[in-house]
């Protein structure tokens, strides 16, 4: 499994994951960047938008879905999410606008991007370049519901269910956020696991049980609580961010990590979805390190990365073979 952060912040999130022979199963977790930016960043990895097998959507806020109109309509990339989020996406597509995380209306950029080259490709098949002859069905998961949305494919994965998307086993689980049915994801390939938890106001025991399985954990570390409370945001927005359906603070993220670590765990931790106003990379990193250190974790064995708003953060599951455990036994 190879994982690359294409962007992570309050203003745009997308994670690229590939697995299988030659990295043939290519997925995004969220697509909250402009489609041109997304395209350029994927191209730098040698990947074309038309090669994506699907986009797992955590929730319908603009910083997670901005590129969906183009991905769905121009590139025929299926959206994969639960029924409720799917309905919200249908509304967003019809309205040509999305709600931002802070409640503002964000107009979909699709119309302004008319010069994007449309890829000629079948709706349901994808030719695997590696073999040159092998053709696999793009929507082969019988457990998923196929439904056209404005003539584009969609796969319904009810929250709490597990299914195979190509070479990747995908499990969704509920998180707490002010969207219709937000969820996190656990992605597994041959015993390697990636867990994505962003945009949640609290961490539940169910979320902890998913996070505890991860080799690579992508976790929200949105704000420094004091900085938020003293900062320039209106009171209502501050209350919303610290509410149980808002965002995780640096302290909450550290607590969650402390609760999930096992003595034999080998971990990579990516801290993401940082607020530009209410956090800094060094605050997020220092806060996490100090909390873990005071709990006795061996930090030399822990790989913490603070994800930048731009491209950054690359993980390959082969790193698992070389990593010792986190805690001194």
Q: How far is the CB of 76 from Zn ion (least distance, A)?
A: 25
Residue number, 101 or 215, with CB nearest to Zn ion: 101
DSSP state of 149: B
Residue number, 39 or 58, with CB nearest to Zn ion: 58
Q: How far is the CB of 177 from Zn ion (least distance, A)?
A: 6
Q: Give the C-alpha separation, 73 to 75, whole Å.
A: 6
User: For residues 226 and 250, is the Cβ–Cβ distance under 8 A?
Assistant: no
Residue number, 14 or 305, with CB nearest to Zn ion: 14
Q: Tell me the residue number closest to Zn ion, measured at CB.
A: 61
Residue number, 141 or 199, with CB nearest to Zn ion: 199
Q: How far is the CB of 272 from Zn ion (least distance, A)?
A: 10
Residue number, 14 or 265, with CB nearest to Zn ion: 14
Q: How far is the CB of 33 from Zn ion (least distance, A)?
A: 12
Q: Write out the E strands in the chain.
A: 2-7, 14-19, 25-29, 54-56, 79-81, 97-99, 105-107, 125-127, 135-137, 145-146, 154-156, 162-165, 168-174, 183-189, 192-197, 216-220, 268-272, 303-306, 314-316
Q: How far is the CB of 103 from Zn ion (least distance, A)?
A: 10
Alpha helices in 114-261 (DSSP H): 205-211, 225-230, 235-242, 250-260
The footprint of Zn ion (CB under 5 A) covers 61, 63, 101, 199
Q: How far is the CB of 245 from Zn ion (least distance, A)?
A: 10
Closest alpha carbon to 172 in 285, 135, 180, 182:
182
Closest alpha carbon to 68 in 4, 147, 154, 9:
154
Q: Give the C-alpha separation, 79 to 138, whole Å.
A: 12
* Whole-angstrom Cα Rg for the chain: 19
Residue number, 84 or 101, with CB nearest to Zn ion: 101
Residue number, 173 or 261, with CB nearest to Zn ion: 173
Q: How far is the CB of 7 from Zn ion (least distance, A)?
A: 11
């Amino acid at each position: 499994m190879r994982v690359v952060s294409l962007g992570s912040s309050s203003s745009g999130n997308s994670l690229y994951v590939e697995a299988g022979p030659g990295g043939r199963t290519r997925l995004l977790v969220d697509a909250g960047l402009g489609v041109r930016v997304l395209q350029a960043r994927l191209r730098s990895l040698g990947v074309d938008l038309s090669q994506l097998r699907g986009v797992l959507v955590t929730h319908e806020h603009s910083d997670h879905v901005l590129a969906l109109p183009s991905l769905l309509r121009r590139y025929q990339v299926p959206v994969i999410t639960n029924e409720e989020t799917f309905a919200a996406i249908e509304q967003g597509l019809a309205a040509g606008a999305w709600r931002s995380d802070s409640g503002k209306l964000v107009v979909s950029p699709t119309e302004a991007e008319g010069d994007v080259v449309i890829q000629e490709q079948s709706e349901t098949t994808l030719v695997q370049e590696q073999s040159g002859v092998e053709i696999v069905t793009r929507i082969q998961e019988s457990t998923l519901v196929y439904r056209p949305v404005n003539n584009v494919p969609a796969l319904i994965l009810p929250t709490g269910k597990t299914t195979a998307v190509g070479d990747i086993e995908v499990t969704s689980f509920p998180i707490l956020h002010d969207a219709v049915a937000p969820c996190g994801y656990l992605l597994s390939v041959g015993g390697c696991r990636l867990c994505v938890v962003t945009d949640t106001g609290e961490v539940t025991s169910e979320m902890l049980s998913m996070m505890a399985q991860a080799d690579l954990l992508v976790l929200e570390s949105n704000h420094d609580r004091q900085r938020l409370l003293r900062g320039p945001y209106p009171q209502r927005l501050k209350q919303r961010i610290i509410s149980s359906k808002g965002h995780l603070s640096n302290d909450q993220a550290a607590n969650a990590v402390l609760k999930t670590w096992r003595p034999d765990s080998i971990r990579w931790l990516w801290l993401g979805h940082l607020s530009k106003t209410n956090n800094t990379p060094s605050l997020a990193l220092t806060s996490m390190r100090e909390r873990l250190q005071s709990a006795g974790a061996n930090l030399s064995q822990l790989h913490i990365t603070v994800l930048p708003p731009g491209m950054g953060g690359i993980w390959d599951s082969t790193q698992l073979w070389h990593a010792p455990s986190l805690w001194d036994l």
